[in-house]
Chain A
């Protein structure tokens, strides 16, 4: 066993819990706006078949989103817990920007975003489609607002000089400079591009999975998913590369930090994967845009390849965070506080225990969510009520596809409505 110090263990714990959390966040940030677009398009469509197809596409994406959202809450709580446990020795005046952004993120994501999502889920068949589209746009907007705030907090750790002002002998942070930190803007743009590529890859995977579940609406559902996926992949992948390169000059003011060899390998792998994904996305774009959504989704191998496709951009996001956070060392806040100074007083055995527990829980949440997603790829998150056409078509009802955890019945006091929502 390597001779690890308390600092090594705390840094490892932070890197792994942050990286695993972001694997889920990259999906929810990319999928939330796509869900809103599909719901809006469904609300505007007059043709019943196309509208049903768009709703079917939305429901398949919604299932994936909800699984990710739940697992994201678990890993997010663990991330905040290890922050509080391990990094409590930052001077109060330097910690204020972090506390402020974490509090704002809590209010926007946990309070407002989850309320909007809950109202969307509970209002199926009760609110007009347009109002429900507005709720989903609210979910997407609050998700991005809270993500921008968290990235601003992270950028403050990298480039505090752009944020902190000395006024009357006291450190002062104003919101404009916090959000306008060049390091934050570059990171938010990079994350936006990466999230678009991740969402695009999931949409392509879903399109092929939906097409294989033959039903009257499967082609109409697979088509918009494939087109949206192709566009997001083809635009998001090169944008990720360009905004990633821009970060080299903007992330920190002092870029002369020596990074360890493994961080260099992570960077090289990330750049290689980004370039390969860009080439692949452009190669796939034209056939996906021309595909009519029929033919059971093509050969089975294509479905398997599509299901694995999202893990390429997801892997690059993990490598990207690994490099970014390693390059900040030995600083907690560059030029102000080192990680050694910020570390709470804990023994090595205690830190080893919390690392095993926290990372174990995170891995269970991330891998469990992926298993659930891949097992139910293309299935809807909504279950038809008795007397309404099956969303999954004649080959099997959505209820049976959902197994015993699906909605037991439609007796929730709203008989006659079209669908009930079933959590994964």
Chain B
């Protein structure tokens, strides 16, 4: 029972990481084009709301399917993704505090492109593992994890829907570009 619950929670977290953070990454890549500063201003603090799903995916995956998180085929994409993530967030945090914003804009775009390439590499890595018969990963659900995962994932989904409905698009004064 707890295995099914944790599996479902993991699927929801993975979907949110892919869709929500994917939206942020694509928006950052698109900021290389015209109107990029305005696009990033509209993103505001929204990237903080989407990237928490990636952290949750790594945390939950580490406990539930440790073999996948530690698989050698996924090591390079994972390290690349984290490096791109750090670079992108460095740009997003620092730009509104800089007089010249172009270095931060470059960091945002380059970081997001590295993230995008790493995701493609990760998908290929997952495919390679699946073709070769999967990992020796056991699914290690613990009775404590199931209720915690359900509560945390559902509560965060509700809060983020509230945020999206009431506050999205208003930007944030400490993440202003241009």
Q: Write the residues of chain A forming the contact surface with B, with a CB cutoff of 8 angstroms.
A: 92, 96-97, 99-108, 110-112, 114-116, 118-119, 122-123, 126-127, 149, 173-175, 178-179, 383, 404-405, 407-414, 420-423
- Judge whether B3 is part of the interface by a CB distance below 8 angstroms: no
A115 touching B159 by the CB < 8 A rule? yes
B173→A115 contact, CB < 8 A: no
Cross-chain pairs A/B with CB under 8 angstroms, 6 sampled: A96-B63, A104-B148, A106-B59, A110-B55, A119-B163, A383-B173
**A405 adjacent to B97 (CB under 8 Å):** yes
Q: How many A-B residue pairs have CB under 8 A?
A: 125
Q: List B contacts of A92 (CB < 8 A).
A: 66, 138, 140
Which residue in A114, A179, A422 is a CB contact (below 8 Å) of B173?
A422
**Residues 54-86 (chain B) with a chain A CB within 8 angstroms:** 55-56, 58-60, 62-64, 66
Task: Please tell me if the beta carbons of A104 and B144 are within 8 angstroms of each other in the complex.
Answer: yes
Given contacts A92-B140, A111-B52, A119-B162, contact A100 B63 (CB under 8 A): yes
Pick the residue among A122, A174, A414, A422 that contacts B45 (CB under 8 A). Answer: A122
Closest A residue to B142 by beta carbon equals: A100
What residue of chain A has the Cβ atom nearest to residue B146's Cβ?
A175
**Given A101-B144, A408-B176, A412-B172: A107 and B153 interface contact (C-beta under 8 Å):** yes
- The answer to whether B123 has its CB under 8 Å from any CB of chain A is no
In the complex, are the beta carbons of A174 and B143 less than 8 A apart? yes
Tell me which residues across on chain A come within 8 A of B140, comparing CB atoms.
92, 96, 99
Quick check: B167 and A122 within 8 Å, CB to CB? yes
Give the B interface residue count (CB, 8 A): 41
Chain B residues with Cβ below 8 Å from A423 are 174
| Chain A neighbourhood of B143, CB < 8 A | 174-175
Interface-central residue, B60, B63, B66, by most chain A CB under 10 Å: B63
Tell me if B48 is interfacial: C-beta within 8 Å of chain A. Answer: yes
When the two chains form their complex, are residues A106 and B144 in contact, meaning their CB atoms are under 8 A apart? no
Give the residues in chain A near B55, CB-CB below 8 Å: 106, 110-111
Distance in angstroms between the alpha carbons of A420 and B64 in the assembled complex: 41
- 17 further A-B contacts with Cβ under 8 Å, apart from A112-B156, A114-B52, are A92-B66, A92-B138, A100-B63, A100-B144, A103-B148, A106-B55, A107-B148, A107-B153, A110-B59, A115-B49, A119-B162, A127-B166, A173-B144, A178-B144, A409-B173, A412-B172, A420-B173
Interface residues of B in 153-168 (CB under 8 A from A): 153, 155-156, 159-160, 162-163, 166-167
Is the C-beta of B117 less than 8 angstroms from some C-beta in chain A? no
Judged by a CB distance under 8 angstroms, whether B96 is at the interface is yes
Q: A99-B66, A107-B59 are in contact. Are A407 and B52 (CB under 8 A)?
A: no
B173 engages A412 (CB within 8 Å)? yes
List of A residues within 8 angstroms of B66 by Cβ: 92, 99
B62 x A111 contact (CB < 8 A): no
Residue of B nearest to A110 (CB): B55
- A126 to B144, alpha carbons, bound, how many Å? 36
Chain B neighbourhood of A111, CB < 8 A: 52-53, 55-56, 152-153, 156
Interface centre among B64, B152, B166 (most CB of A within 10 A): B152
Beta-carbon nearest neighbor of B69 in chain A: A84
Q: Which residues of A contact B49 (CB under 8 A)?
A: 115, 118
A410, B144: Cβ atoms closer than 8 Å: no
A407 and B97 CA atoms in complex are apart in Å by 10
A175 touches B96 (CB 8 A): no
Contacts of A110 in B (CB 8 A): 52, 55-56, 59
Give the complex CA separation of A179 and B66 in angstroms.
23
Q: Among the listed B48, B56, B170, B174, which residue makes an inter-chain contact with A107, where contact means beta carbons less than 8 Å apart?
A: B56
**Interface residue? B36 (CB, 8 A):** no
Residue B145 contacts which of A100, A112, A408, A410 (CB distance < 8 angstroms)?
A: A100
- Complex Cα distance, B13 from A335, in Å, reads 37
Q: Tell me the minimal C-beta distance from B142 to chain A in angstroms.
A: 4
Knowing A114-B48, A115-B52, A413-B171, say if A408 contacts B156 (CB, 8 Å).
no
B contact residues around A411 at 8 Å (CB): 173
Say whether, besides A103-B145, A126-B167, A112 and B152 are in contact (CB < 8 Å). Answer: yes
CA distance A126 to B159 in the complex (A): 15
Cβ A413 vs Cβ B169 within 8 A:
yes
Q: Is the CB of A96 within 8 A of B142?
A: yes
Closest Cβ neighbor of B48 among chain A residues: A118
* B-side contacts of A122, CB under 8 Å: 45, 163, 167, 170, 172
Q: Are A108 and B48 in contact (CB under 8 A)?
A: no
Q: Does chain A have a CB within 8 A of B149?
A: yes
**A118/B163 in contact, CB under 8 A:** yes
Contact flags B108-150 to A (C-beta < 8 A → 1, else 0):
0000000000000000000000000000001010111100110
